[in-house]
Structure 1
Amino acid sequence: MPEKRQYPPTIRLRRLAAELCRLRAAAQLTREDVAERTSINAVTLYRIEKARARPQKRTLAALLDLYEASETQRSDLMTIQNSPSDQGWLRPYHSELPEEYTAYIGFEAEARTVRNYESLFIPGLAQTEEYAYAVVKGVLPMASQREVEQRVQARMERQALLVKEQPLRLWAIVDEAAIRREVGGLKVMRAQARHLLRLMEEPHITFQVIPFDKGAHAGMPSSFVHLDFPDPADPELVCVDTSAGDLFLESEAEIRRYMLMFEHLQAVAVGPNDSADLLIKLAAASE
Protein backbone atom coordinates (compact mmCIF):
# COMPACT_ATOMS: atom_id res chain seq x y z
CA MET A 1 0.00 0.00 0.00
CA PRO A 2 1.54 3.38 -1.00
CA GLU A 3 2.62 5.71 1.77
CA LYS A 4 0.19 8.57 2.35
CA ARG A 5 1.62 11.82 1.06
CA GLN A 6 2.40 14.51 3.62
CA TYR A 7 1.39 17.88 2.24
CA PRO A 8 3.36 21.03 3.12
CA PRO A 9 2.51 23.23 6.12
CA THR A 10 0.05 26.06 5.78
CA ILE A 11 0.96 29.63 6.60
CA ARG A 12 -0.92 29.38 9.92
CA LEU A 13 1.08 26.33 10.96
CA ARG A 14 4.31 28.15 10.07
CA ARG A 15 3.20 31.07 12.23
CA LEU A 16 2.46 28.75 15.15
CA ALA A 17 5.90 27.15 14.78
CA ALA A 18 7.65 30.53 14.60
CA GLU A 19 5.85 31.84 17.69
CA LEU A 20 6.70 28.73 19.71
CA CYS A 21 10.37 29.09 18.73
CA ARG A 22 10.31 32.73 19.76
CA LEU A 23 8.65 31.98 23.11
CA ARG A 24 11.16 29.21 23.89
CA ALA A 25 14.05 31.53 23.05
CA ALA A 26 12.55 34.27 25.25
CA ALA A 27 12.32 31.74 28.10
CA GLN A 28 16.00 30.89 27.51
CA LEU A 29 15.27 27.18 27.18
CA THR A 30 16.82 24.60 24.86
CA ARG A 31 14.77 21.77 23.39
CA GLU A 32 16.51 19.46 25.84
CA ASP A 33 15.41 21.74 28.71
CA VAL A 34 11.82 21.51 27.49
CA ALA A 35 12.05 17.71 27.26
CA GLU A 36 13.31 17.50 30.85
CA ARG A 37 10.49 19.67 32.23
CA THR A 38 7.62 18.21 30.20
CA SER A 39 6.60 14.91 28.64
CA ILE A 40 7.45 16.28 25.18
CA ASN A 41 10.58 14.76 23.68
CA ALA A 42 13.11 16.85 21.79
CA VAL A 43 12.37 15.21 18.42
CA THR A 44 8.66 16.01 18.68
CA LEU A 45 9.44 19.59 19.66
CA TYR A 46 11.83 19.90 16.70
CA ARG A 47 9.09 18.76 14.31
CA ILE A 48 6.61 21.22 15.84
CA GLU A 49 9.07 24.12 15.61
CA LYS A 50 9.85 23.27 11.98
CA ALA A 51 6.11 23.22 11.12
CA ARG A 52 6.35 19.54 10.25
CA ALA A 53 3.75 18.54 12.82
CA ARG A 54 0.71 20.20 14.37
CA PRO A 55 0.90 19.98 18.18
CA GLN A 56 -1.92 18.33 20.07
CA LYS A 57 -3.90 20.63 22.36
CA ARG A 58 -2.38 19.23 25.54
CA THR A 59 1.12 19.53 24.07
CA LEU A 60 0.56 23.14 23.07
CA ALA A 61 -0.94 23.93 26.49
CA ALA A 62 2.08 22.41 28.23
CA LEU A 63 4.47 24.48 26.12
CA LEU A 64 2.55 27.71 26.73
CA ASP A 65 2.52 27.02 30.48
CA LEU A 66 6.26 26.37 30.51
CA TYR A 67 6.99 29.50 28.45
CA GLU A 68 4.66 31.60 30.67
CA ALA A 69 2.80 32.88 27.62
CA SER A 70 0.43 35.79 28.11
CA GLU A 71 -3.33 35.30 27.80
CA THR A 72 -3.29 37.06 24.42
CA GLN A 73 -0.50 34.82 23.13
CA ARG A 74 -2.25 31.75 24.49
CA SER A 75 -5.55 32.69 22.85
CA ASP A 76 -3.96 33.45 19.49
CA LEU A 77 -1.93 30.25 19.33
CA MET A 78 -4.79 28.06 20.52
CA THR A 79 -6.96 29.58 17.78
CA ILE A 80 -4.35 28.67 15.18
CA GLN A 81 -4.06 25.15 16.60
CA ASN A 82 -7.83 24.68 16.39
CA SER A 83 -8.13 26.04 12.84
CA PRO A 84 -8.64 23.45 10.10
CA SER A 85 -5.84 22.74 7.64
CA ASP A 86 -6.72 24.88 4.64
CA GLN A 87 -5.46 23.10 1.55
CA GLY A 88 -8.06 24.58 -0.79
CA TRP A 89 -5.37 25.29 -3.38
CA LEU A 90 -4.74 21.57 -3.90
CA ARG A 91 -5.92 19.81 -7.05
CA PRO A 92 -6.24 16.01 -7.41
CA TYR A 93 -3.20 15.78 -9.70
CA HIS A 94 -1.00 17.80 -7.32
CA SER A 95 -0.21 14.56 -5.49
CA GLU A 96 1.84 13.57 -8.53
CA LEU A 97 3.92 16.76 -8.55
CA PRO A 98 7.20 17.10 -6.59
CA GLU A 99 6.58 17.97 -2.95
CA GLU A 100 8.72 21.13 -3.17
CA TYR A 101 6.53 22.37 -6.00
CA THR A 102 3.25 21.71 -4.19
CA ALA A 103 4.74 23.44 -1.15
CA TYR A 104 5.59 26.47 -3.23
CA ILE A 105 2.15 26.53 -4.89
CA GLY A 106 0.55 26.55 -1.44
CA PHE A 107 2.69 29.37 -0.08
CA GLU A 108 2.21 31.42 -3.24
CA ALA A 109 -1.57 30.98 -3.04
CA GLU A 110 -1.57 32.61 0.42
CA ALA A 111 0.97 35.35 -0.35
CA ARG A 112 0.33 39.07 -0.66
CA THR A 113 3.45 39.94 -2.67
CA VAL A 114 5.83 37.86 -4.76
CA ARG A 115 9.24 39.29 -5.65
CA ASN A 116 10.79 37.02 -8.25
CA TYR A 117 14.22 37.19 -9.84
CA GLU A 118 14.96 34.86 -12.76
CA SER A 119 18.24 34.60 -14.65
CA LEU A 120 17.18 32.30 -17.50
CA PHE A 121 13.38 32.00 -17.53
CA ILE A 122 10.33 34.20 -17.74
CA PRO A 123 8.71 33.93 -14.25
CA GLY A 124 6.08 31.19 -14.10
CA LEU A 125 3.30 33.63 -13.19
CA ALA A 126 3.96 35.51 -16.45
CA GLN A 127 4.48 32.63 -18.88
CA THR A 128 2.21 31.86 -21.81
CA GLU A 129 1.04 28.27 -22.09
CA GLU A 130 3.18 27.67 -25.18
CA TYR A 131 6.28 29.08 -23.49
CA ALA A 132 5.59 27.05 -20.33
CA TYR A 133 5.23 23.86 -22.37
CA ALA A 134 8.53 24.49 -24.18
CA VAL A 135 10.30 25.24 -20.88
CA VAL A 136 9.06 22.12 -19.10
CA LYS A 137 9.74 19.93 -22.12
CA GLY A 138 13.27 21.30 -22.45
CA VAL A 139 14.22 21.33 -18.77
CA LEU A 140 12.76 17.86 -18.07
CA PRO A 141 13.62 15.84 -21.21
CA MET A 142 12.92 12.53 -19.46
CA ALA A 143 9.42 13.56 -18.26
CA SER A 144 6.42 11.79 -19.72
CA GLN A 145 3.81 13.67 -21.71
CA ARG A 146 1.46 13.40 -18.73
CA GLU A 147 4.05 14.89 -16.37
CA VAL A 148 4.74 17.78 -18.75
CA GLU A 149 1.03 18.54 -19.11
CA GLN A 150 0.52 18.45 -15.33
CA ARG A 151 3.37 20.91 -14.78
CA VAL A 152 2.00 23.26 -17.43
CA GLN A 153 -1.54 23.00 -16.06
CA ALA A 154 -0.32 23.83 -12.54
CA ARG A 155 1.57 26.83 -13.89
CA MET A 156 -1.47 28.16 -15.75
CA GLU A 157 -3.72 27.69 -12.70
CA ARG A 158 -1.28 29.66 -10.54
CA GLN A 159 -1.79 32.70 -12.77
CA ALA A 160 -5.37 33.05 -11.54
CA LEU A 161 -3.81 34.75 -8.49
CA LEU A 162 -3.06 37.77 -10.67
CA VAL A 163 -6.70 38.35 -11.65
CA LYS A 164 -8.60 37.60 -8.44
CA GLU A 165 -10.52 40.34 -6.58
CA GLN A 166 -7.51 41.24 -4.45
CA PRO A 167 -4.75 40.18 -6.82
CA LEU A 168 -1.34 38.96 -5.89
CA ARG A 169 1.25 41.71 -6.27
CA LEU A 170 4.08 40.62 -8.55
CA TRP A 171 7.44 42.33 -8.94
CA ALA A 172 9.53 40.36 -11.42
CA ILE A 173 13.11 41.04 -12.47
CA VAL A 174 14.86 39.01 -15.16
CA ASP A 175 18.27 38.96 -16.76
CA GLU A 176 18.17 39.87 -20.45
CA ALA A 177 19.03 36.25 -21.21
CA ALA A 178 15.52 35.29 -20.11
CA ILE A 179 13.83 37.35 -22.80
CA ARG A 180 16.37 36.64 -25.56
CA ARG A 181 16.65 32.85 -25.32
CA GLU A 182 14.37 31.44 -28.04
CA VAL A 183 12.31 29.03 -25.95
CA GLY A 184 9.87 27.32 -28.29
CA GLY A 185 10.96 29.39 -31.29
CA LEU A 186 10.43 32.93 -32.55
CA LYS A 187 6.64 32.72 -32.71
CA VAL A 188 6.39 31.60 -29.08
CA MET A 189 8.80 34.32 -27.94
CA ARG A 190 6.90 37.00 -29.85
CA ALA A 191 3.66 35.97 -28.14
CA GLN A 192 5.47 35.83 -24.78
CA ALA A 193 6.82 39.36 -25.20
CA ARG A 194 3.36 40.68 -26.04
CA HIS A 195 1.88 38.86 -23.05
CA LEU A 196 4.44 40.50 -20.76
CA LEU A 197 3.57 43.90 -22.20
CA ARG A 198 -0.12 43.32 -21.42
CA LEU A 199 0.69 42.25 -17.87
CA MET A 200 2.81 45.35 -17.33
CA GLU A 201 -0.27 47.51 -17.87
CA GLU A 202 -1.69 46.19 -14.58
CA PRO A 203 -0.93 48.36 -11.53
CA HIS A 204 -0.10 45.37 -9.33
CA ILE A 205 2.53 43.96 -11.74
CA THR A 206 6.03 45.35 -12.22
CA PHE A 207 8.53 43.87 -14.67
CA GLN A 208 12.19 44.87 -15.05
CA VAL A 209 15.07 43.64 -17.19
CA ILE A 210 18.78 43.64 -16.35
CA PRO A 211 20.51 44.33 -19.71
CA PHE A 212 23.62 42.45 -20.73
CA ASP A 213 25.67 45.65 -20.69
CA LYS A 214 25.21 45.91 -16.91
CA GLY A 215 27.85 43.18 -16.61
CA ALA A 216 28.07 40.90 -13.57
CA HIS A 217 25.41 41.29 -10.88
CA ALA A 218 24.27 39.72 -7.63
CA GLY A 219 21.52 37.61 -9.22
CA MET A 220 23.77 35.58 -11.49
CA PRO A 221 24.35 32.60 -9.13
CA SER A 222 20.68 31.57 -8.81
CA SER A 223 17.04 32.54 -9.15
CA PHE A 224 14.87 33.14 -6.09
CA VAL A 225 11.43 34.21 -4.91
CA HIS A 226 10.59 36.26 -1.82
CA LEU A 227 7.05 35.99 -0.49
CA ASP A 228 5.28 38.04 2.15
CA PHE A 229 1.75 37.55 3.44
CA PRO A 230 -1.33 39.65 4.26
CA ASP A 231 -0.95 39.22 8.02
CA PRO A 232 2.32 40.78 9.24
CA ALA A 233 2.47 38.05 11.89
CA ASP A 234 3.00 35.42 9.19
CA PRO A 235 6.74 34.89 8.65
CA GLU A 236 8.17 35.84 5.27
CA LEU A 237 9.70 33.16 3.09
CA VAL A 238 12.38 32.85 0.41
CA CYS A 239 12.46 30.04 -2.12
CA VAL A 240 15.79 29.49 -3.90
CA ASP A 241 15.96 27.46 -7.10
CA THR A 242 18.87 25.00 -7.01
CA SER A 243 19.88 22.02 -9.13
CA ALA A 244 19.09 19.80 -6.14
CA GLY A 245 15.55 21.20 -5.82
CA ASP A 246 13.83 24.18 -4.26
CA LEU A 247 15.25 25.39 -0.96
CA PHE A 248 12.98 27.25 1.51
CA LEU A 249 14.66 29.81 3.78
CA GLU A 250 12.94 31.33 6.81
CA SER A 251 15.49 32.85 9.19
CA GLU A 252 15.51 36.62 9.62
CA ALA A 253 19.12 36.83 8.45
CA GLU A 254 18.37 34.89 5.26
CA ILE A 255 15.24 36.91 4.52
CA ARG A 256 17.14 40.16 5.02
CA ARG A 257 19.99 38.99 2.76
CA TYR A 258 17.68 38.17 -0.12
CA MET A 259 15.64 41.34 0.29
CA LEU A 260 18.86 43.37 0.05
CA MET A 261 19.81 41.36 -3.01
CA PHE A 262 16.44 42.07 -4.63
CA GLU A 263 16.81 45.78 -3.89
CA HIS A 264 20.23 45.69 -5.54
CA LEU A 265 18.75 43.99 -8.61
CA GLN A 266 15.99 46.61 -8.76
CA ALA A 267 18.68 49.29 -8.90
CA VAL A 268 20.76 47.48 -11.54
CA ALA A 269 17.78 46.72 -13.81
CA VAL A 270 16.36 49.32 -16.18
CA GLY A 271 12.98 50.74 -15.21
CA PRO A 272 9.62 49.33 -16.31
CA ASN A 273 9.29 51.77 -19.23
CA ASP A 274 12.72 50.95 -20.63
CA SER A 275 12.04 47.26 -20.02
CA ALA A 276 8.80 47.59 -22.01
CA ASP A 277 10.71 49.30 -24.85
CA LEU A 278 13.14 46.39 -24.92
CA LEU A 279 10.27 43.90 -25.15
CA ILE A 280 8.65 45.90 -27.95
CA LYS A 281 11.91 45.85 -29.92
CA LEU A 282 12.34 42.12 -29.40
CA ALA A 283 8.76 41.41 -30.48
CA ALA A 284 9.23 43.56 -33.58
CA ALA A 285 12.59 41.97 -34.43
CA SER A 286 11.03 38.49 -34.41
CA GLU A 287 8.35 39.42 -36.95
Structure 2
Amino acid sequence: MDRRSCVAAVGAVTVSTLAGCLDDVTDRTDDEDDDQPGAGSANGANQNDDVDPHGAVEAVETYIEAGQAGDEETMSDLAYDDSPVDPTWIERMVDESDDDWEIQETEPASFENVDVELLETDVELAEVEHVEALEFWLEDEALELIDGDDTALVRTEWTDTDPDGYGYPDEVDEESHWVLFVDDGEWTILWTGPPQGTIDDFREPVTDEEGRLVEAIEYDVQELDEDGEMAAFIDGDEIHTAEVTFVDDPDPDIDAARLESTIALGSGGVEPIGAAARFSVDLDPEGDELTVYAIVDGEEEVVHREHYEP
Protein backbone atom coordinates (compact mmCIF):
# COMPACT_ATOMS: atom_id res chain seq x y z
CA MET A 1 0.00 0.00 0.00
CA ASP A 2 1.46 3.38 -0.94
CA ARG A 3 0.88 6.63 0.88
CA ARG A 4 -1.76 7.85 -1.55
CA SER A 5 -3.91 4.78 -1.02
CA CYS A 6 -3.43 5.15 2.76
CA VAL A 7 -4.67 8.73 2.61
CA ALA A 8 -7.76 7.71 0.70
CA ALA A 9 -8.45 4.83 3.09
CA VAL A 10 -8.21 6.98 6.22
CA GLY A 11 -10.57 9.55 4.74
CA ALA A 12 -13.11 6.90 3.84
CA VAL A 13 -12.99 5.31 7.28
CA THR A 14 -13.42 8.65 9.03
CA VAL A 15 -16.44 9.67 6.99
CA SER A 16 -18.23 6.31 6.95
CA THR A 17 -17.65 5.63 10.65
CA LEU A 18 -19.06 8.92 11.83
CA ALA A 19 -21.98 9.48 9.48
CA GLY A 20 -24.18 6.75 10.94
CA CYS A 21 -27.36 6.81 12.94
CA LEU A 22 -26.92 7.24 16.70
CA ASP A 23 -30.09 5.63 17.98
CA ASP A 24 -28.85 5.05 21.52
CA VAL A 25 -25.86 6.82 23.04
CA THR A 26 -24.76 5.93 26.56
CA ASP A 27 -22.11 7.63 28.72
CA ARG A 28 -19.99 5.98 31.39
CA THR A 29 -17.93 8.46 33.39
CA ASP A 30 -16.41 8.94 36.84
CA ASP A 31 -17.70 11.51 39.32
CA GLU A 32 -14.14 12.44 40.25
CA ASP A 33 -13.53 13.85 36.76
CA ASP A 34 -16.20 16.55 36.94
CA ASP A 35 -13.57 19.25 37.34
CA GLN A 36 -11.76 18.33 34.12
CA PRO A 37 -11.69 20.94 31.31
CA GLY A 38 -14.80 21.04 29.21
CA ALA A 39 -16.99 18.95 31.51
CA GLY A 40 -20.70 19.42 30.92
CA SER A 41 -23.78 17.89 29.31
CA ALA A 42 -23.40 16.30 25.88
CA ASN A 43 -26.36 17.69 23.94
CA GLY A 44 -28.78 15.46 25.79
CA ALA A 45 -26.86 12.28 25.05
CA ASN A 46 -26.03 11.52 28.66
CA GLN A 47 -28.65 9.17 30.06
CA ASN A 48 -27.58 9.75 33.66
CA ASP A 49 -28.83 13.21 34.65
CA ASP A 50 -26.99 13.07 37.98
CA VAL A 51 -23.48 12.84 36.45
CA ASP A 52 -22.12 15.17 33.80
CA PRO A 53 -19.89 13.48 31.20
CA HIS A 54 -16.15 13.97 31.33
CA GLY A 55 -15.02 16.67 28.91
CA ALA A 56 -13.21 14.17 26.71
CA VAL A 57 -16.33 11.99 26.51
CA GLU A 58 -18.42 15.04 25.63
CA ALA A 59 -16.01 15.98 22.85
CA VAL A 60 -16.20 12.51 21.28
CA GLU A 61 -20.00 12.41 21.54
CA THR A 62 -20.35 15.85 19.99
CA TYR A 63 -17.93 14.90 17.21
CA ILE A 64 -19.93 11.74 16.39
CA GLU A 65 -23.24 13.62 16.50
CA ALA A 66 -21.77 16.23 14.15
CA GLY A 67 -20.74 13.42 11.81
CA GLN A 68 -24.30 12.13 11.88
CA ALA A 69 -25.58 15.56 10.94
CA GLY A 70 -22.92 16.15 8.28
CA ASP A 71 -21.61 19.12 10.28
CA GLU A 72 -17.96 19.12 9.19
CA GLU A 73 -17.37 22.53 10.74
CA THR A 74 -18.10 21.24 14.25
CA MET A 75 -16.07 18.10 13.61
CA SER A 76 -13.14 20.21 12.48
CA ASP A 77 -13.44 22.49 15.52
CA LEU A 78 -13.13 19.46 17.82
CA ALA A 79 -10.20 17.89 15.97
CA TYR A 80 -6.49 18.63 15.83
CA ASP A 81 -5.79 20.45 12.58
CA ASP A 82 -3.03 18.20 11.25
CA SER A 83 -4.72 14.87 11.95
CA PRO A 84 -6.92 12.64 9.74
CA VAL A 85 -9.75 13.06 12.28
CA ASP A 86 -10.20 16.60 10.92
CA PRO A 87 -12.58 16.16 7.93
CA THR A 88 -10.78 18.95 6.07
CA TRP A 89 -7.44 17.14 6.41
CA ILE A 90 -7.98 14.81 3.43
CA GLU A 91 -9.00 17.74 1.25
CA ARG A 92 -5.87 19.67 2.22
CA MET A 93 -3.68 16.63 1.57
CA VAL A 94 -5.20 16.22 -1.90
CA ASP A 95 -4.81 19.92 -2.70
CA GLU A 96 -1.13 19.80 -1.69
CA SER A 97 -0.42 16.62 -3.65
CA ASP A 98 1.14 16.62 -7.10
CA ASP A 99 -1.05 13.66 -8.07
CA ASP A 100 -4.54 13.78 -9.54
CA TRP A 101 -7.01 12.73 -6.84
CA GLU A 102 -10.78 12.42 -6.72
CA ILE A 103 -12.53 12.26 -3.34
CA GLN A 104 -15.50 9.88 -3.54
CA GLU A 105 -18.55 10.18 -1.33
CA THR A 106 -19.53 7.12 0.72
CA GLU A 107 -22.95 6.00 1.84
CA PRO A 108 -23.67 6.70 5.55
CA ALA A 109 -23.32 3.65 7.76
CA SER A 110 -26.04 2.50 10.15
CA PHE A 111 -25.22 2.13 13.85
CA GLU A 112 -27.07 1.12 16.99
CA ASN A 113 -26.27 0.96 20.71
CA VAL A 114 -23.40 3.46 20.68
CA ASP A 115 -21.57 3.55 24.00
CA VAL A 116 -18.91 6.11 24.98
CA GLU A 117 -16.60 5.43 27.93
CA LEU A 118 -13.67 7.23 29.52
CA LEU A 119 -10.78 4.76 29.82
CA GLU A 120 -7.96 6.80 31.32
CA THR A 121 -6.73 10.33 31.91
CA ASP A 122 -3.24 11.87 31.98
CA VAL A 123 -1.84 9.29 29.56
CA GLU A 124 1.58 9.41 27.92
CA LEU A 125 2.39 8.55 24.32
CA ALA A 126 3.96 5.20 25.27
CA GLU A 127 0.64 4.11 26.82
CA VAL A 128 -1.28 4.58 23.55
CA GLU A 129 -1.85 1.38 21.58
CA HIS A 130 -1.54 3.06 18.20
CA VAL A 131 1.93 4.55 18.64
CA GLU A 132 3.10 3.32 15.21
CA ALA A 133 0.05 4.77 13.47
CA LEU A 134 0.35 8.09 15.30
CA GLU A 135 4.04 8.34 14.44
CA PHE A 136 3.21 7.57 10.80
CA TRP A 137 0.47 10.17 10.35
CA LEU A 138 1.36 12.91 12.82
CA GLU A 139 4.27 15.29 13.12
CA ASP A 140 6.55 15.30 16.16
CA GLU A 141 4.86 18.47 17.38
CA ALA A 142 1.55 16.61 17.64
CA LEU A 143 3.09 13.58 19.34
CA GLU A 144 4.59 15.80 22.02
CA LEU A 145 1.05 16.81 23.04
CA ILE A 146 0.50 13.35 24.55
CA ASP A 147 2.74 14.10 27.52
CA GLY A 148 0.75 12.72 30.44
CA ASP A 149 -0.81 16.05 31.38
CA ASP A 150 -4.44 16.84 30.47
CA THR A 151 -4.74 13.91 28.09
CA ALA A 152 -7.35 11.16 27.86
CA LEU A 153 -8.25 7.86 26.23
CA VAL A 154 -11.91 7.27 25.34
CA ARG A 155 -13.54 4.11 24.00
CA THR A 156 -16.58 3.89 21.75
CA GLU A 157 -18.48 0.66 21.12
CA TRP A 158 -21.37 0.21 18.70
CA THR A 159 -23.20 -2.25 16.49
CA ASP A 160 -22.82 -1.74 12.75
CA THR A 161 -26.13 -2.91 11.30
CA ASP A 162 -25.00 -2.56 7.67
CA PRO A 163 -21.30 -3.48 7.41
CA ASP A 164 -19.56 -2.12 4.33
CA GLY A 165 -17.47 -4.67 2.45
CA TYR A 166 -17.50 -8.31 1.44
CA GLY A 167 -17.40 -11.17 3.89
CA TYR A 168 -19.17 -9.53 6.82
CA PRO A 169 -22.19 -10.82 8.75
CA ASP A 170 -25.42 -8.84 8.90
CA GLU A 171 -24.29 -7.07 12.09
CA VAL A 172 -20.82 -6.40 13.49
CA ASP A 173 -19.86 -5.20 16.97
CA GLU A 174 -17.18 -2.52 16.57
CA GLU A 175 -14.85 -0.66 18.92
CA SER A 176 -12.60 2.40 18.59
CA HIS A 177 -10.20 4.18 20.92
CA TRP A 178 -9.78 7.95 20.90
CA VAL A 179 -6.77 10.00 21.98
CA LEU A 180 -7.49 13.54 23.23
CA PHE A 181 -5.60 16.43 24.80
CA VAL A 182 -6.56 19.82 26.21
CA ASP A 183 -5.89 22.75 23.89
CA ASP A 184 -6.62 26.24 25.22
CA GLY A 185 -8.97 24.78 27.85
CA GLU A 186 -10.92 22.57 25.40
CA TRP A 187 -10.69 18.84 24.82
CA THR A 188 -9.36 18.20 21.30
CA ILE A 189 -9.38 14.89 19.39
CA LEU A 190 -5.98 13.86 18.09
CA TRP A 191 -6.55 10.32 16.85
CA THR A 192 -9.02 7.45 16.66
CA GLY A 193 -8.59 3.82 15.63
CA PRO A 194 -9.60 0.24 16.48
CA PRO A 195 -8.01 -1.33 19.57
CA GLN A 196 -4.67 -3.00 18.94
CA GLY A 197 -4.64 -6.75 19.51
CA THR A 198 -1.85 -8.46 21.46
CA ILE A 199 -0.57 -12.00 21.87
CA ASP A 200 -2.73 -12.22 24.99
CA ASP A 201 -5.78 -12.00 22.71
CA PHE A 202 -4.82 -15.11 20.74
CA ARG A 203 -7.38 -17.91 20.81
CA GLU A 204 -7.19 -21.67 20.32
CA PRO A 205 -6.31 -22.73 16.77
CA VAL A 206 -9.10 -24.11 14.57
CA THR A 207 -8.50 -26.36 11.55
CA ASP A 208 -10.78 -26.63 8.53
CA GLU A 209 -10.57 -30.41 8.69
CA GLU A 210 -13.61 -30.96 6.46
CA GLY A 211 -12.20 -28.75 3.71
CA ARG A 212 -15.28 -26.50 3.67
CA LEU A 213 -13.32 -23.44 2.62
CA VAL A 214 -9.55 -23.40 3.13
CA GLU A 215 -7.25 -25.22 0.70
CA ALA A 216 -3.89 -23.77 1.76
CA ILE A 217 -2.24 -20.85 3.56
CA GLU A 218 1.10 -19.44 2.44
CA TYR A 219 3.15 -16.80 4.22
CA ASP A 220 5.33 -14.26 2.47
CA VAL A 221 7.89 -11.66 3.55
CA GLN A 222 8.73 -8.71 1.29
CA GLU A 223 11.51 -6.21 1.76
CA LEU A 224 10.35 -2.60 1.65
CA ASP A 225 11.66 -0.38 -1.11
CA GLU A 226 12.94 3.18 -0.72
CA ASP A 227 9.41 4.37 0.01
CA GLY A 228 8.78 1.46 2.36
CA GLU A 229 8.13 3.63 5.35
CA MET A 230 4.97 4.74 3.57
CA ALA A 231 3.72 1.22 3.00
CA ALA A 232 2.53 0.15 6.43
CA PHE A 233 1.96 1.22 10.02
CA ILE A 234 4.19 -1.60 11.23
CA ASP A 235 7.73 -0.88 12.36
CA GLY A 236 10.57 -2.60 10.52
CA ASP A 237 11.86 -3.14 7.00
CA GLU A 238 9.54 -5.94 5.93
CA ILE A 239 5.90 -6.56 5.12
CA HIS A 240 4.56 -9.95 6.23
CA THR A 241 1.41 -11.33 4.59
CA ALA A 242 -0.71 -14.47 4.58
CA GLU A 243 -2.32 -15.67 1.37
CA VAL A 244 -5.29 -18.02 1.73
CA THR A 245 -6.31 -20.23 -1.17
CA PHE A 246 -9.90 -21.46 -1.06
CA VAL A 247 -10.97 -24.93 -2.15
CA ASP A 248 -12.22 -25.52 -5.69
CA ASP A 249 -15.63 -26.62 -4.42
CA PRO A 250 -16.42 -24.70 -1.20
CA ASP A 251 -19.33 -25.58 1.06
CA PRO A 252 -22.43 -24.35 -0.86
CA ASP A 253 -23.88 -22.97 2.38
CA ILE A 254 -21.04 -20.43 2.62
CA ASP A 255 -22.02 -17.10 1.07
CA ALA A 256 -18.77 -15.21 1.65
CA ALA A 257 -15.43 -15.39 3.44
CA ARG A 258 -13.34 -12.95 5.43
CA LEU A 259 -9.74 -12.94 6.70
CA GLU A 260 -8.56 -11.08 9.79
CA SER A 261 -5.22 -10.62 11.57
CA THR A 262 -5.37 -9.89 15.29
CA ILE A 263 -2.34 -7.63 15.80
CA ALA A 264 -1.77 -6.04 12.38
CA LEU A 265 -5.56 -5.45 12.13
CA GLY A 266 -5.58 -6.62 8.54
CA SER A 267 -8.99 -7.55 7.16
CA GLY A 268 -10.64 -8.32 3.85
CA GLY A 269 -13.43 -10.37 2.32
CA VAL A 270 -14.45 -12.30 -0.77
CA GLU A 271 -18.00 -12.66 -2.11
CA PRO A 272 -18.94 -14.84 -3.88
CA ILE A 273 -16.21 -17.45 -3.48
CA GLY A 274 -14.99 -18.67 -6.85
CA ALA A 275 -13.02 -21.79 -7.60
CA ALA A 276 -9.48 -21.64 -6.15
CA ALA A 277 -9.95 -18.00 -5.18
CA ARG A 278 -7.13 -16.36 -3.20
CA PHE A 279 -6.99 -13.51 -0.74
CA SER A 280 -4.17 -11.90 1.27
CA VAL A 281 -3.98 -10.04 4.57
CA ASP A 282 -1.15 -8.19 6.36
CA LEU A 283 0.47 -9.66 9.47
CA ASP A 284 2.62 -8.27 12.25
CA PRO A 285 6.29 -9.10 11.58
CA GLU A 286 6.81 -10.22 15.19
CA GLY A 287 3.97 -12.74 15.09
CA ASP A 288 0.23 -12.67 14.59
CA GLU A 289 -3.00 -14.65 14.55
CA LEU A 290 -4.85 -15.35 11.30
CA THR A 291 -8.58 -16.15 11.36
CA VAL A 292 -10.71 -17.22 8.40
CA TYR A 293 -14.44 -16.60 8.78
CA ALA A 294 -17.30 -18.03 6.72
CA ILE A 295 -20.57 -16.14 6.37
CA VAL A 296 -23.58 -18.45 6.40
CA ASP A 297 -27.09 -16.97 6.31
CA GLY A 298 -25.77 -13.64 7.57
CA GLU A 299 -23.96 -15.20 10.54
CA GLU A 300 -20.19 -15.43 11.07
CA GLU A 301 -18.44 -18.77 11.69
CA VAL A 302 -14.76 -19.43 12.40
CA VAL A 303 -13.59 -21.98 9.83
CA HIS A 304 -9.86 -21.80 10.39
CA ARG A 305 -7.48 -20.06 12.82
CA GLU A 306 -3.73 -20.38 13.21
CA HIS A 307 -0.87 -18.52 14.83
CA TYR A 308 1.86 -16.99 12.66
CA GLU A 309 5.37 -17.34 14.08
CA PRO A 310 7.96 -15.83 11.70
Q: Normalising by structure 1, report the TM-score.
A: 0.25
Q: Normalising by structure 2, report the TM-score.
A: 0.23
Higher relative contact order structure (alpha carbons within 8 Å, sequence separation ≥ 6): 1
Identify the structure with the greater strand proportion.
2
Larger Rg, first or second structure (1 or 2): 1
